[in-house]
């Protein structure tokens, strides 16, 4: 039992941080948001050169065969620097492909992802606002699959080669499908969001014809559920990195900013806010690690713990960014200060891979505290 | 990073589990028993559990063997707490609070700063449940400003002569010893003239006056010292270095002393969930109320789970670093404030039942009524939430003192 990263994981963190500090600090992300949001290929090449695009891919396919817990380190750094690159979705997609029963079908794809030559993104969110209930559908047609529907929160779609899409089949079962973005019938449009560091696209599938092996075959566990769960902990880790940077900036500011002849950080009102920021961060951190470990070690309460972590982290990020802006005073509300970039990201992270409402439903189910109408419908179904 | 415990640790867990299954069931009180007045029988009962643990080899899990402990790792200590809570066993955070200062303050402090004689004299007896301890830190004018203590100890020959008053001293009325911070050099600056003494509570010149608490408990005391003579060998650490020694004690308090409490809260939230389901089933709350209570309960569940996670994380970090650091204050803030919110939720779920005190369980209708009232002490005792936030801000975040 041990809930801290080991030396090797910390070394990986350091190499990522050094790279981002030198080549892509937040000031550069800012330029990205103010220009045309074209992904910097040099940035992606740098990320690939760090050897982190294949960490969740088994060694046989050119990866490192590590676990989502290792990926947390990377996502913390991505969230700290708000790095505008599809690291999270690409890693998640690689993990899902690698865990499909028909992984052999994706051998080539996985090798390309491991090398950083191919990027795969994820499409879950629809206009209904749901991440977990797709209306995008797939039908059998003349020996192949026909995909129809629209996803609205597909990050970095224009820079990606493929997208993993959640869709419902004719039996009413939800699954994941690998779709090349250049396939006929796929169209892609950028949608403006509150967070320009993370370009989102609307991707429409109109009678897209796919081979049968596009469907990821579940093992013991549903890959769609895995997608929501692992996506959630990765998002939490990003939030953690963001919160840590906010605290760092705010703590420095509180020590430098002089009012009434003293640093404002010497006033108890400010001290206690900063202390609470740290409490929020440490609490979320422990829970994120704990929940991720439960997932990796297949503990039966993992779904409950991940939902708990997602809710708690969303709330923590909100509080930390709120106090960060407040302590910075007028500076914190200015466009030129980084604080609003984190405020924007916190808004997206709260929702990505399921908003608190969705995760609360999971918690209610796992704790046996469902709404009456849910328990009745569950009884009718069974 | 991993959650799994080693084979050796799991073996310890399963042996402990069988021991607890056998012994918790037959013991007259458990983790949900409302504390009662400190009669002789009650004191004896509290000592008995500790004696049983000692005989079973489960007292002082992490304490060295030479002082009567088990000599096991901190992780095994954590497993011990985990299993006690799982079994709803009586422990130092509930009915057996009398053992708290000995096991969590005086013992660990003597282990770090005490002389060999002090260790041999006290540590085994604390573990056997035969020596009860209280704390003599706070004074009427030294609460949050602890370094302002005025109780004097004058060194005369081979004795300290103590004069002054201590307060908020839990279980002083049944204690054998008191761990004390006293002023030995009134000319030195505030933090420099303090020494740490072990004081026999049976000495002449000591007067104890109980203070009744919100809960009605009568274990809280004021203690008056009138020319009390304490032998010089009862000094812990160096003369006038008592602030540092005392801070070690408080470090334990903020670091590991409440580990068990931290784990308990998760069970409390689950119990709140069961009470909620019962109330819906019986019709004492309607569907709209039920949903409101659930939306209050879910974040508390997350926080309680986070507290368990942070406890696990702390143990891992402590195995690397040794004594707990100021980070313990973060955890103290978390658990004390969470406990208040959980007990308040249960009070609300129980509706009118939380008002009446006519029950079969002494002065309270049930344990939750007691827990609710008790929770108000949590953010004051062991360093108030405000002091904890100062500590976090100044020692962890490095913010300037006012």
* Predicted complex ipTM: 0.95
Contact across the interface for A278 and B392, Cβ inside 8 Å: yes
Q: Is the pLDDT of residue A376 over 80?
A: no
- The Cα B97–Cα B42 span in angstroms is 12
Active site residue B253: yes
Q: Is the pLDDT of residue A183 over 70?
A: yes
Contact across the interface for A278 and B299, Cβ inside 8 Å: no
Q: Is the pLDDT of residue A215 over 70?
A: yes
Report whether B182 contacts B191 (CB < 8 A).
no
Residue A41 is predicted with a pLDDT of: 87
Residue B363 is predicted with a pLDDT of: 67
Residue whose pair of structure tokens reads 């902990």 in the numeric block? A233
- The Cα B393–Cα B329 span in angstroms is 10
- Of A75-79, B224-228, B310-314, B355-359, minimum mean pLDDT range: B355-359
Measure CB to CB from residue A4 to each of B9, B306, B317 and give the nearest one: B317
Q: Is the pLDDT of residue A272 over 90?
A: yes
Gap from B110 CA to chain A (nearest CA, Å): 28
Question: Where would I find the H helices in chain A?
Answer: 7-23, 26-34, 41-49, 68-81, 87-99, 107-115, 223-256, 268-296, 302-328, 339-351, 356-366, 372-381
Residue A380 is predicted with a pLDDT of: 52
Of the CA atoms within 13 Å of residue A154, those in its CB half-sphere come to 32
Q: Provide the pairing of β-strand A137-141 with A144-155.
A: antiparallel
Question: Looking at beta carbons, which residues of chain A come within 8 Å of B4?
Answer: 1, 297
Q: Is the pLDDT of residue A379 over 60?
A: no
Q: How far lies B113's CA from each of A319, B133, B196, B236, B315, in Å?
A: 41, 17, 10, 6, 22
**In the predicted model, what is the mean pLDDT of residues A22-34?**
93
- The Cα A47–Cα A55 span in angstroms is 12
The secondary structure element, H or E, covering residue A260 is: none
Cβ neighbours of B186 (radius 10 Å): 9
Q: Is the pLDDT of residue B35 over 90?
A: no
**Structural Rg of chain A based on CA atoms:** 21
Q: For residue A227, which of A56, A113, A377 has the smallest C-alpha distance?
A: A56
Mutation site for B-interface testing, chosen from A270, A308, A360 by largest number of B Cβ within 10 Å: A308
Measure CB to CB from residue A1 to each of B305, B316, B393 and give the nearest one: B316
Contact across the interface for A266 and B303, Cβ inside 8 Å: no
Catalytic residue among B131, B253, B303, B339: B253
**In the predicted model, what is the mean pLDDT of residues B117-138?**
97
Model confidence band, residue B4 (pLDDT cutoffs 50, 70, 90): very high
Report whether A284 contacts A316 (CB < 8 A).
yes
Q: Label each residue of A113-152 as H, E or C.
A: HHHCCCCEEEECCCCCCCCCCCCCEEEEECCEEEEEEEEE
**In the predicted model, what is the mean pLDDT of residues A176-192?**
97
Residue B220 is predicted with a pLDDT of: 92
Per residue in B220-247, pLDDT (tens digit) is: 999 999 999 999 999 999 999 999 999 8
Gap from B343 CA to chain A (nearest CA, Å): 19
Contact across the interface for B390 and A268, Cβ inside 8 Å: yes
Q: Which residue of B has its CA nearest to A308?
A: B302
Measure CB to CB from residue B397 to each of A3, A274, A294 and give the nearest one: A274
Contact across the interface for B305 and A290, Cβ inside 8 Å: yes
Q: What angle do CA A267, A268, A269 make, to 5 degrees?
A: 95
- The Cα B363–Cα B183 span in angstroms is 40
**Higher pLDDT, residue A381 or B321:** B321
Per residue in B345-384, pLDDT (tens digit) is: 999 999 888 888 876 545 677 899 999 999 999 999 989 9
**In the predicted model, what is the mean pLDDT of residues B312-333?**
81
| pTM beyond 0.80, yes or no | yes
How many angstroms from the chain centroid is the CA of residue B272?
A: 23
- The Cα B402–Cα B400 span in angstroms is 6
Residue B257 is predicted with a pLDDT of: 78
Cβ neighbours of B8 (radius 10 Å): 12
For the purposes of burial, counting CB atoms within 10 Å of the CB of B165, is it exposed (0-12), middle (13-18) or buried (19 or more)?
middle
Q: Which residue of B has its CA nearest to A363?
A: B298
Bridge partners (DSSP) of residue A164 are A122, A178
Measure CB to CB from residue A297 to each of B4, B306, B320 and give the nearest one: B4
Question: Looking at beta carbons, which residues of chain A come within 8 Å of B345?
Answer: none
Gap from B300 CA to chain A (nearest CA, Å): 9
Dump the DSSP string for B236-304.
ESSTTBHHHHHHHHHHHHHHTTTHHHHHHHHHHHHHHHHHHHHHHHHTSS-HHHHHHHHHHHHHHHHHH
Residue A38 is predicted with a pLDDT of: 77
Model confidence band, residue A294 (pLDDT cutoffs 50, 70, 90): very high
Question: Looking at beta carbons, which residues of chain B come within 8 Å of A240?
Answer: none
Query: Which tokens sit at B388?
Result: 């904890």
Measure CB to CB from residue B397 to each of A278, A283, A284 and give the nearest one: A278
Gap from A315 CA to chain B (nearest CA, Å): 9
Cβ neighbours of B263 (radius 10 Å): 23
Residues contacting B23, CB < 8 A, separation 6+: B52, B56
Question: Looking at beta carbons, which residues of chain B come within 8 Å of A268?
Answer: 386, 390, 402
Q: Which residue of A has its CA nearest to B328?
A: A279
Residue whose pair of structure tokens reads 């794809």 in the numeric block? A109
Per residue in A117-131, pLDDT (tens digit) is: 999 999 999 999 999
Per residue in B258-273, pLDDT (tens digit) is: 888 889 999 999 999 9
Contact across the interface for B313 and A1, Cβ inside 8 Å: no
Residue A382 is predicted with a pLDDT of: 43
- Torsion, Cα of A343, A346, A352, A358 (10° steps): -120
Q: Is the pLDDT of residue A176 over 90?
A: yes
Q: In chain B, pLDDT over 70 holds for what percent of residues? A: 97
Report whether A48 contacts A272 (CB < 8 A).
no
Question: Looking at beta carbons, which residues of chain B come within 8 Å of A372?
Answer: 287
Question: Looking at beta carbons, which residues of chain A come within 8 Å of B333?
Answer: 275, 279
Question: Looking at beta carbons, which residues of chain A come within 8 Å of B1?
Answer: 2-6, 9, 69, 289, 293
């Amino acid at each position: 039992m041990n809930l801290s990263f080991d030396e090797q994981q910390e070394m990986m963190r350091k190499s990522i941080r050094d790279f981002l500090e030198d080549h892509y600090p937040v000031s550069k992300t800012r330029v990205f948001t103010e220009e045309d949001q074209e992904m910097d290929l040099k940035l992606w090449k740098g990320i690939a050169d760090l050897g982190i695009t294949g960490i969740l891919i088994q060694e046989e396919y050119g990866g490192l065969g590590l676990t989502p817990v290792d990926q947390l380190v990377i996502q913390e750094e991505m969230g700290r620097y708000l790095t505008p690159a599809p690291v999270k979705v690409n890693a998640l997609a690689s993990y899902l492909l690698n865990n499909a029963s028909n992984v052999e079908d994706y051998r080539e794809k996985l090798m390309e992802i491991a090398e950083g030559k191919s990027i795969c993104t994820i499409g879950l969110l629809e206009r209904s606002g749901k991440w977990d209930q797709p209306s995008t559908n797939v039908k059998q047609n003349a020996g192949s699959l026909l995909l129809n529907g629209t996803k609205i929160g597909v990050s970095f779609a224009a820079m990606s080669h493929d997208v993993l899409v959640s869709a419902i089949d004719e039996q009413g079962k939800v699954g994941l499908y690998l779709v090349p973005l250049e396939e006929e019938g796929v169209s892609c449009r950028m949608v403006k969001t509150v967070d320009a560091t993370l370009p989102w696209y609307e991707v429409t599938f109109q009678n897209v014809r796919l081979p049968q092996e596009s469907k990821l075959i579940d093992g013991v566990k549903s890959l769609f559920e895995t997608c929501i769960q692992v996506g959630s902990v990765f998002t939490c880790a990003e939030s953690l990195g963001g919160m840590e940077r906010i605290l760092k900036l705010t703590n420095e500011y509180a020590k430098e900013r002089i009012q009434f002849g003293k640093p404002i950080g010497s006033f108890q009102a400010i001290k206690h806010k900063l202390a609470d920021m740290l409490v929020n961060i440490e609490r979320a951190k422990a829970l994120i690690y704990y929940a991720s470990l439960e997932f990796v070690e297949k503990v039966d309460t993992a779904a409950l713990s991940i939902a708990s972590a997602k809710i708690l982290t969303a709330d923590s990020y909100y509080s930390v960014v709120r106090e960060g802006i407040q302590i910075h005073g007028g500076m914190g509300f200015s466009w030129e200060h980084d604080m609003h970039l984190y405020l924007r990201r916190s808004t997206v992270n709260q929702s990505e891979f399921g908003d608190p409402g969705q995760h609360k439903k999971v918690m209610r189910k796992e704790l046996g505290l469902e709404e009456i109408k849910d328990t009745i419908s569950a009884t009718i179904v069974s | 990073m991993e959650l799994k415990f080693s084979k050796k640790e799991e073996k310890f867990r399963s042996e402990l589990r069988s021991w607890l299954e056998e012994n918790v069931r037959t013991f007259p009180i458990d983790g949900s028993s409302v504390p009662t007045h400190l009669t002789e029988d009650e004191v004896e009962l509290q000592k008995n559990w500790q004696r049983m643990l000692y005989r079973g080899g489960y007292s002082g899990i992490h304490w060295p063997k030479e002082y009567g402990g088990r000599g096991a790792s901190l992780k095994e200590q954590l497993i011990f707490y985990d299993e006690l809570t799982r079994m709803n066993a009586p422990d130092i955070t509930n009915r057996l609070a009398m053992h708290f200062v000995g096991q969590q303050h005086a013992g660990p402090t003597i282990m770090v700063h005490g002389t060999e004689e002090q260790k041999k004299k006290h540590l085994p007896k604390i573990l056997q449940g035969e020596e009860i301890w209280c704390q003599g830190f706070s004074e009427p004018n030294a609460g949050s400003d602890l370094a302002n203590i005025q109780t004097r100890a004058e060194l005369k020959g081979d004795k300290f002569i103590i004069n002054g008053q201590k307060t908020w001293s839990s279980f002083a009325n049944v204690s054998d010893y008191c761990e004390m911070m006293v002023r030995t050099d009134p000319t030195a600056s505030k933090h420099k003239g303090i020494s740490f003494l072990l004081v026999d509570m049976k000495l002449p010149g000591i007067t104890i006056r109980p203070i009744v608490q919100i809960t009605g408990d009568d274990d809280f005391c004021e203690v008056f010292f009138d020319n009390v003579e304490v032998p010089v060998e009862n000094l812990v650490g160096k003369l006038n270095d008592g602030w540092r020694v005392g801070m070690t004690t408080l470090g334990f308090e903020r670091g590991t002393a409440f580990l068990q409490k931290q784990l308990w809260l998760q069970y409390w939230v689950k119990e709140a969930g069961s009470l909620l389901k019962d109330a819906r089933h019986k019709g004492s709350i309607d569907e709209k109320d039920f949903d409101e209570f659930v939306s209050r309960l879910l974040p508390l569940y997350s926080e309680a789970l986070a507290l368990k996670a942070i406890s696990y994380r702390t143990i891992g970090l402590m195995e690397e670093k040794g004594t707990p650091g100021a980070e313990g204050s973060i955890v103290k803030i978390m658990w004390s404030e969470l406990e208040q919110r959980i007990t308040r939720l249960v009070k609300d779920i129980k509706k009118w039942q939380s008002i009446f005190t006519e029950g079969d369980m002494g002065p309270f209708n049930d344990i939750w009524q007691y827990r609710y009232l008790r929770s108000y002490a949590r953010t004051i005792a062991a360093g108030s939430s405000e002091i904890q936030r100062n500590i976090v801000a100044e020692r962890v975040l490095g913010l300037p003192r006012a």
